[in-house]
Amino acid sequence: MTQRRAQINRKTLETDISLELNLDGVGQGTIVTGVGFLDHMLNSLVKHSGVDLKLSCHGDLHIDDHHTAEDCAIALGRAFSEALGDKRGISRFGYAYAPLDESLARAVVDLSGRPYSHIQLQLDGSSSLGSLKAENITHVFESFAMSAALTLHVDVIRGENSHHKAEAAFKALALALRAAISMREGSHAVPSTKGVL
């Protein structure tokens, strides 16, 4: 099987990102963004999706966390797209529910090549989780979907604790991605009536 890996280096006036992704990993992550809660969420994504990720970001945190959160999601999405290649043999679709105590989240993914996102996390956008603004958590999901060129729906169905709601959402995405990127045994076809994704 072709190795499904990608390496991304993305440098702007706002962030400097180095990233290595292996879709056929074992769920190991080395993630340092300078934003502790973002590191925590990305580590959860890695652990439960089964991918391996090395991510280092030096961002303009003296301004705020927005550019770091956004650019890490863009780089990660680009890496997913590159690692998937022509998407031959993949399952393409994935969906999952993930609870965290009182919180319950659902994620549905289509590796369609058509970027779209609908994200409802039931978070107060003006609040923060650690040093990460809650509004930027939604933006991470949106930026990842756009950059990876996938369709993504994430809904927090219920919950009270903001940390729990955010983490349940990332875990649901992880499990949905795990299903979508999995290889269909014996298939080398592109899973689309168009013949391309």
Averaged confidence pLDDT in the chain:
96
Confidence check: pLDDT of 187 > 90: no
Average pLDDT over residues 27-31: 98
Which sequence spans correspond to the domains of the chain? 5-181
Pairing of strands 15-22, 5-11: antiparallel
At the topology level, CATH places domain 5-181 in Ribosomal Protein S5; domain 2 (3.30.230)
This prediction has a pTM of 0.96
With vertex at residue 83, the alpha carbon angle to CA 154 and CA 135, rounded to the nearest 5 degrees, is 30
Confidence check: pLDDT of 97 > 90: yes
Q: How far is CA 44 from CA 65, 81, 105, 166, 195, in A?
A: 19, 20, 14, 11, 34
pLDDT digits (tens, 9 = 90+) for 143-165: 999 999 999 999 999 999 999 99
Q: How far is CA 106 from CA 83, 141, 192, 196, in A?
A: 25, 13, 24, 27
Average pLDDT over residues 98-104: 98
Closest to 107 (Cα-Cα) out of 164, 45, 175, 160: 175
For position 19, what pLDDT does the model report?
98
For position 1, what pLDDT does the model report?
60
pLDDT digits (tens, 9 = 90+) for 49-96: 999 999 999 999 999 999 999 999 999 999 999 999 999 999 999 999
Given a contact cutoff of 8 angstroms between Cβ atoms, the answer to whether 131 and 117 are in contact is no
